[in-house]
Amino acid sequence: MDASEVTYAVHQVLLQIQQRQSLGCPSLIGSTRPLRELDKFDSPISIAATGMIGRRLGIQIPSEMNLFGDSKEAYSIDKTVGIISRLMEKQAATDKVDS
Domain edges within the chain: 3-98
First-to-last alpha carbon distance for the chain, in angstroms, is 20
Cα angle 78, 82, 19; round to 5: 50
H helices of 21-61, in order, are: 34-37, 43-57
pLDDT of residue 4: 94
Contact 27, 77 (CB under 8 A): no
Would you say residue 94 has pLDDT above 90? no
- CA 69, 73, 77, 82 torsion-angle sign: negative
Q: What is the pTM of this model?
A: 0.90
Q: What is the pLDDT of residues 40-60, one digit of tens each?
A: 999 899 999 999 999 999 999
The CATH T-level fold of domain 3-98 is 1.10.1200
- Of the pLDDT bands very low, low, confident and very high (cuts 50, 70, 90), residue 1 is confident
